[in-house]
Amino acid sequence: MRRRCLLIAWTALLWAAVVVVSGGFAFTVGGMRVSSKSPLNPILFALVAGAAWMLAARGRNERLVADLRAVAAPGLAASLAVVVVTIGFTYGALVVGGSDAYGYVSQAEAWAAGTFRFDEPLIREFAGRVDRSVFVPLGYQPVGEAGTVVPMYAPGLPMVMSVFQRLGGREAVFYVVPLLAGLAIVATYMMGRRLGGKAIGLAGAALLATSPSFLFQLTAAPMSDVPVTAWWALALALVLVDHLGAALFSGLAVSLAILTRPNLAPLALIPVAPLIWEGLRDRARLRREMTRAATYAAGVIPGCVLIGMLYATWYGSPFNSGYGSLDSIYHWPNAWPNLARYPAWAAESQTPLVALAFAAPMLVSRVSQAGRVGSQASVIAMSWIGFIVLVLASYLLYEAFNAWWFVRFMLPAFPPLLVLTSVSIVALSQRLSRGRSAQRKGGAWLRVLIPSTLVAVMMGHGIVYAIDHDAFRARSERKYAAVADYVSRRLPRNAALLSMQHSGSIRYYSGRATVRFDHIEPAQLESTLAALTEAGYRPYILLEPWEVPQFRKRYTGFSPLSSLDWPPVAVMRNTDIRIYDPADRPASLAGRPLLTETVP
């Protein structure tokens, strides 16, 4: 009863903190509206619950201290999760923009409608007159001549989004990434708690919560990096619980991870490896461990079967994907650049201290007595090292990128990496403090001060690095919704916008037709515009500032429109996104003044 009151007080204080940080919030789930605008009510509730806790302890200090020790680590881990979720909702883009976000969210709408077939009516309408590829929005590719398109992106994240959309409406799809980020924090705490104790779990969760790559992907437009990290962390945490139900749910988490990022399917072998090892090492536990492993496999199989069936239907083979066949995606020349860049990016963003993770299998026995895995500690740590290496290996032959935030591909490895880093920091600190205490008293406080300081330094570095590298400026992505709002309000219903970057978001928010200008052959621009006009559409050209020189270069010598030498219909004030009406060009050349609307 006492500890329940303490937990209630803690939860109420967290609620108040969330209201203060976010400025108040409101959302709808299943038709029920949840909102909070003032921190006063939860603060009062926390005071009442705190008073009840103190009264239940009858004023005895030892009981109060015991309660605080019992709930401090899990309470702080929960607080980190809440803070991360709040950051996602407060600083996140929460919009459809570009390829990834539109690809995931539009696919979620199809799943919510109960279909995995995606039709593009414009392909059929202009069959034989306009190349079909120009009507395929970002995130999709055409199949056959019947107007069917298939998604480039894996279905795992859209499937989860579709559940939220069915329960909470269209905007609820944006709840998924922040909430799964919170789940990733909790799962990381569970991993560390099971391996080395509460301190290890809390340190690992804190390092993930302040990881620049994690924060960058949390606040970016919806993508699969954070969700797949959450599912793998949950799988690695649950498999450590000696219960058949936990093994099953661990396998189901792996299924969701495979559906979210199929190329990481080989990682499914890692969580179950310690179970098999323990069964072979201790024959008395062989039957029990093999049963747990079989139960885990039963949870993994559905994800493997479903992704294989979908990929065979969409792409003609379970081994093809929306990115192409294996031999078209992976190339040996990419191995060395990626091998050099991914570890360097991880060390740069997380500090070189993460290299200590690879010493954890030799050090974990020094801290594992605080956990509940006993002699398995070293085996589990070694299996997690294998997990990290296998994640890296999965991307070695993939395209070599040249920006730090592509370390996002390594995010599924971060929970075990950061937990093992915490293990090494704590173990080495304990060894140092023992040597110190042999000479003079004071080793006890060093065992707390040294790891706390190192973890705090890593956390501070992560936050500063994230700020310096624009992790919290994703609100600029909300330009997609603003542009689409203008299109919806000011352009006619029959507008057809030639665009690339906005081709998905314009469809999603305004319902207007879009045409990919980057897919129109230079010699076919004029004929494409004529076909659209004859069919009753009103063509417009919508360009980002960086797309303007691309448009000019592509069509120079093929169409006078390439000059873009007439006033646009509208200019977005902060982003300089421009919308041109090709029909205005003759009037402009004739000297007729045209007005350009400046949109906030």
pLDDT of 481 higher than 60:
yes
Cα–Cα distance between 293 and 296 in angstroms, integer? 5
Give the residue-averaged pLDDT of 316-323: 89
CA distance 492 to 298: 53
The C-alpha atoms of residue 320 and residue 307 are separated, in whole angstroms, by 11
CB–CB of 415/401 below 8 Å? Answer: no
> What would the DSSP string read from start to end of 33-79?
EEEE--SHHHHHHHHHHHHHHHHHTTT-HHHHHHHHHHHHHHHHHHH
Range scoring the smallest mean pLDDT among 40-44, 95-99, 101-105, 596-600 = 40-44
pLDDT 10s digits, 120-146: 888 888 888 888 889 988 888 888 666
Q: How confident is the model at residue 442 (pLDDT cuts 50, 70, 90)?
A: low
Taking residues 3-15, report their average pLDDT: 62
pLDDT of residue 438: 47
| 25-38 tens-digit pLDDT | 665 555 566 666 66
| pLDDT of amino acid 285 | 82
Please report the pLDDT score of residue 54 as a whole number: 58
- In terms of Cα–Cα distance, which of 15, 11, 95, 152 is closest to 479? 95
Residue 443 has pLDDT above 60, yes or no: no
Instruction: Please give, one letter per residue, the 3-state secondary structure of 75-116.
Output: HHHHHHHHHHHHHHHHHCCCCCCHHHHHHHHHHHHHHHCCCC
How far apart, in Å, are the Cα atoms of 197 and each of 369, 374, 419, 492, 578? Answer: 8, 11, 11, 62, 56
State the Cα–Cα distance between residues 94 and 97, nearest whole angstrom: 9
- Nearest CA-CA partner of 77 in 212, 229, 205: 205
How does pLDDT run across 504-536, given as a tens digit for each residue? 999 999 999 999 999 999 999 999 999 999 999
Averaged over 49-75, what is the pLDDT? Answer: 59
Each residue's pLDDT tens digit, 198-224 = 889 999 999 999 999 999 999 988 899
3-state secondary structure of 389: helix
CB 373 within 8 A of CB 289: no
Per-residue confidence (pLDDT) for residue 430, from 0 to 100: 78
- Residue 254, helix vs strand vs coil: helix
Query: To which H or E segment does residue 465 belong?
Result: helix 443-468
pLDDT value at 320 more than 70: yes
Average pLDDT across the chain, whole number: 86
Is pLDDT at 49 greater than 70 in this prediction?
no
Place 284 in a pLDDT band, splitting at 50, 70 and 90.
confident
Q: What is the pLDDT of residue 565?
A: 92
- The predicted pLDDT at position 224 comes to 95
Q: What percent of the chain has pLDDT over 90?
A: 58
Mean pLDDT of 377-397: 95
Identify the DSSP state of 441.
Answer: S
Give tens-digit pLDDT for 415-441.
999 999 999 999 888 777 665 544 455
pLDDT in tens, 152-184: 999 999 999 999 999 988 899 999 999 999 999
Q: Stretch 395-421: mean pLDDT, rounded?
A: 95
User: For 531-576, what is each residue's pLDDT tens digit?
Assistant: 999 999 999 999 999 999 999 999 999 999 999 999 999 999 888 9
- For residue 420, give the 3-state DSSP assignment: helix
**DSSP 8-state symbol, 511:** -
**SS3 at position 528:** helix
Contact between residue 498 and residue 534 where contact means Cβ atoms under 8 Å apart: no
Quote the CA–CA distance of 264 and 412 in Å, as a whole number.
9
Structure confidence at residue 524 (pLDDT)? 94
At 435 the pLDDT is: 56
Amino acid letter, residue 432: L
DSSP state of 324: B
Confidence of residue 370 (pLDDT cuts 50, 70, 90): very low
Task: Please give the biggest Cα pair distance in the chain.
Answer: 93
Alpha-carbon distance values, 500 to 299, 491, 518, 546 (Å): 40, 18, 6, 11
Q: What is the pTM of this model?
A: 0.89
Confidence of residue 485 (pLDDT cuts 50, 70, 90): very high
Amino acid at 324: G
Residues pairing with 118 in the sheet = 149
Cβ count within 10 A of residue 6: 24
Band the pLDDT of 371: cuts 50, 70, 90.
very low
User: What does the alpha-carbon distance between residue 216 and residue 195 come to, in Å, rounded to a whole number?
Assistant: 28
Confidence check: pLDDT of 356 > 80: yes
Q: Is 306 helix (H, G, I), strand (E, B) or coil?
A: helix
Structure tokens at 198: 């509460």
Angle among Cα 431, 436, 442 to the nearest 5 degrees reads 110
Q: CA torsion angle for 73, 78, 84, 85 (degrees, to 10)?
A: 180
Sign of CA dihedral 53, 58, 61, 63: negative
Position 469 pLDDT exceeds 80? yes
pLDDT band at 448 (very low <50, low <70, confident <90, very high): confident
pLDDT: which is higher, 93 or 190: 190
- What pLDDT, on a 0 to 100 scale, did the predictor assign at position 115? 78
